[in-house]
Amino acid sequence: MNLKMLEEVSSVRAISSRERHMVEYLKQKLTNYKIDGLHCVIAWPEQEDANLPKLMFCTHQDEVGFIVEEICGRFLRLHPFGSIWPHLVVGDLCTLETSDGRVLTGVISSPSSHAMPEADKKYTVKPDCIYLDLGIDADDVTKLGIKIGDMCCPKADYMPLANPKYVLNKAFDDRSGCYVGLEVLGQKLPHENNLYWAFSSQEEPGLRGARTVTDMVRPDLAFALDATLAGDTLFDDNGVTLGGGVILCCIDSNTLPNRSLLKWVEGLCKKHNIKYQYSVFNRGGTDSGNIHKSLGGIVNMSLGIPARYMHCNHSVVNTDDLAACIELCSWIIKEFKANTLEEILKL
């Protein structure tokens, strides 16, 4: 695996509806692609064969973050894009990018515990009270070109942890999935299908790009691939573990997978000795939530990559899980052929 590429793709700054840097990064990595009106990038077959079925994978480019909502003297009030718990971001670093391309680093302002009444320590900052401190004076705002609507991204440094299989950075939701896609596409696998890999936009605020890419591709079979909350910490308990393998998603708040498809994917994991595990959630969701409801209904399910501490500056994934996900996606591509969907639906 090319872990330098994992570092690169997870370090790109790109929140929902401001995916420009990810689009440019993907254009450098892909040889043939289409871009839709929402800036989704779709790796497209160089020659489509009308006699072969269409297989689509979907991973989202966007990360959670903020835009500048209000300029308050020397501080900037931020508006969250995506589900962000303020408790996880106060005191963390963020980068603000101005409309003319300047990149400024600041810290999310927080109350000082030294001056805080004991009763207030039980509460966290309200979502509408998140402020960025760039270390500026009020008159610097105009000089630096800071405007309402400017993008603000979590800032982190990619690093392996004590066990180097565990790696840390921002935005593994869902740049880990984008990384898997780039690794799989780079193998140039032999396949008997029309293969599309969609890097969707605006997943965090409502799975928006998933609808447009599905409309463009019109797949016969589709998989969403996304980071999935790991439950192996002292604060989360859901059965999903780092190092437990690729996740087969049985339910989330938006999607019930096609049962026959789930059985087929289980069979591939067993046949090729791919380590896998299950997720059973009643919250959260993936691009599958819009994929399966598109057109006349798409045979679809979600695959997951376990991740700790999602939607904050520092998330953690395990490279063994990435390898298992790459292997499973590769076998899906190699084994999905002209009559496979009909066989799957008989299971």
Annotated binding residue 320: no
DSSP state at residue 139? T
Q: Which two tokens stand for residue 6?
A: 């994992």
139 annotated to a ligand binding site = no
Give Cα 280 distance to the centre of its chain: 19
Query: Is the CB of residue 38 less than 8 Å from the CB of residue 215?
Result: no
> Quick count: other Cβ atoms within 10 Å of Cβ 335?
16
173 is in an annotated binding site: yes
8 A C-beta contact, residue 312 and residue 94: no
Classify residue 38 as exposed, middle or buried by CB count within 10 Å of its CB (0-12, 13-18, 19+).
middle
| Chain position carrying tokens 């393998």 | 245
Contact 220, 173 (CB under 8 A): no
Q: Which of 203, 266, 327, 342 is catalytic?
A: 203
Is 226 a known ligand-binding residue? yes
**Is 97 noted as a catalytic residue in this protein?**
no
Q: Which H or E element spans position 176?
A: helix 172-186
Is 220 marked within a binding site?
no
Q: List binding-site positions.
A: 60, 173, 204, 226, 311
Catalytic (active-site) positions: 203
Q: List binding-site positions for Zn(2+).
A: 60, 173, 204, 226, 311
